[in-house]
Amino acid sequence: MPTIRAPRSALPDEAEKQAIIAACETFIRNVLKPRFLPGIRPTEWNYVIDIHGAWTAGRYRFMQRYRSGMAHNRGEEFDAPFARIDRMGRDRFDIYWMRHTGKWWRLYAGVTFVEALRILETDEVLRPV
């Protein structure tokens, strides 16, 4: 059975895109980092060193940056996304969670941008690990 995908709207104009990116970066800096990354705690395993985001094709992904503390690859870094908002139309967003399987799972559909940020702040499933 084929996967059913939600229809995508036209991409936002540059001003709207930049406003979304700026608001998400402010959210990361003022909400996510203070709450979930108050400091970097190196371990012998993989440990979080940053929370950041990226815009691609009408979507904003929230990611954690990890650094390895393991002997065989000490210092190597990688990104692991944990949540994503997809712009579906003017001030309408779907919210996705990255499952442990590596697949995105839609949890909310058609919320406003303000609602999306509130949900990202309050829904425990969407929090960085």
CB 86 within 8 A of CB 94: yes
Q: Mean pLDDT across the stretch 61-89?
A: 92
Q: Mean pLDDT across the stretch 26-42?
A: 94
Identify which has the larger pLDDT, 71 or 95.
95
Contacts made by residues 30-37, CB under 8 angstroms, sequence distance 24+: 31/117, 31/121, 32/62, 32/128, 36/127, 36/128, 37/128
Model-level pTM greater than 0.95? no
Bridge partner residues of 51 (DSSP):
64
Phi, psi of 41 (to 5 degrees): -120, 90
